[in-house]
Amino acid sequence: MDYSNPKLIIETADLEAGTVTWKSPSNLAIVKYWGKFGDQLPKNPSISLTLENAFTETTLEYRPKETAGPGISLEFFFEEEPNPAFAQRIGAFLERLIPVFPFLPQLDLTIHSQNSFPHSAGIASSASSMSALALGLCSLEDNLFQTLNDDQEFDRKASFVARLGSGSASRSIFPYMAFWGQHSGVAGSSDQFAIPLENEIAPIFKTLHDDILILSKKEKAVASTKGHDLMNQHPFAESRYNQARQNIHFLLNALKSGDLEAFGRIAENEALSLHGLMMSSNPGFFLLDPNTLTAIERVRNFREESKLPVYFSLDAGPNLHILYPESVIPEVRLFLESELMPLCEDQVWIADWAGEGPEQV
């Protein structure tokens, strides 16, 4: 797939300054993507839950470039403060996108971005931030050229662009659940972009809650990019990719049938496998907090005693995701507030659930 389009050049005399704002959610991979090749392409397919309250809101301000010249003109603000490190990363990303959006060097750009959750603590901030930016860029193209009027094509291009910034960001474009990666059993699936699973899941999964325990607000000691790279020489890599493909098969069946127990079993197996891969790579690294292990033990004990469908997952960090259907909110929230909240840093947790996807603000 090639979205390069040299025709997307602006008649600067016709250009007026403007803004585009998107709010895009993070997502939680149920079957994990860990290991990549080529240009942000996955070694195995993944399935994710789209969140609602864990999101990034990004405003893209644009105006005709005051000083003509090649390259990207960018100011970047994170949480209303200049952030040179983020600006460098975003600037390099936009430079890569010039063949896709050749009008970008004609503009002075200012980007304001903010998260509803702690950055770099194991909630996929790159997924929400890169998807919000990709959606903004596609809206900017459509505003200037009216080229993305078809909603499905808009979403596909946004997912493609988001993937170039962060693989998991490709999945944040879609409501409830998304599928990313080429798979013979899933029509329309691709390594290049994600696709929605909204019409392939039982209603109970659209009411799924994900309460996120902020067990540590510290930035991760190892970036996810480093972890992906370590999979290239990992002794268990091929076994892992086979495991993921098997879990994809079983999870798709569970999602269609509404089998919460199978869903939860796969979610927990995938979470622990992810961290097992991190610990057994060379060099190995450990992103869990002691309270992560305590919380996992308490969730398992509560499930065994209560017989309620309550499960956990982890992203690439210490913060635990508690997964359960809407029907058991009262019992789970009582357990969470009494047994799990004391383990959280500053007793902070985020009440979240399966979300309806990004929103243009």
Which domains are present in the chain? Answer: 12-200 (3.30.230.10), 203-359 (3.30.70.890)
What pTM was estimated for this model as a whole? Answer: 0.96
Say what the pLDDT of residue 119 is.
65
Residue-wise pLDDT tens for the chain (361 aa)? 899 999 999 987 878 999 999 999 999 999 999 999 999 999 999 999 999 999 999 999 999 998 888 899 999 999 999 999 899 999 999 999 999 999 999 999 999 999 998 765 557 789 999 999 999 999 999 999 999 999 999 999 999 999 999 999 999 999 999 999 999 999 999 999 999 999 999 999 999 999 999 998 887 777 788 899 999 999 999 999 999 999 999 999 999 999 999 999 999 999 999 999 999 999 999 999 999 999 999 999 999 999 999 999 999 989 999 999 999 999 999 999 999 999 999 999 999 999 999 999 9
Phi, psi of 241 (to 5 degrees): -65, -35
Sign of the torsion angle spanned by Cα atoms 348, 352, 357, 359: negative
Q: DSSP 3-state assignment of 256?
A: helix
C-alpha closest to that of 282 among 209, 223, 340, 232: 232
Per DSSP bridges, beta strands 18-31 and 46-64 are antiparallel
- Residue 307: predicted pLDDT: 98
Tell me what pLDDT residue 121 has: 53
- Give the per-residue pLDDT at 255: 98
Amino acid symbol at 21: T
Question: What pairs with residue 77 in β-bridges?
Answer: 82, 112
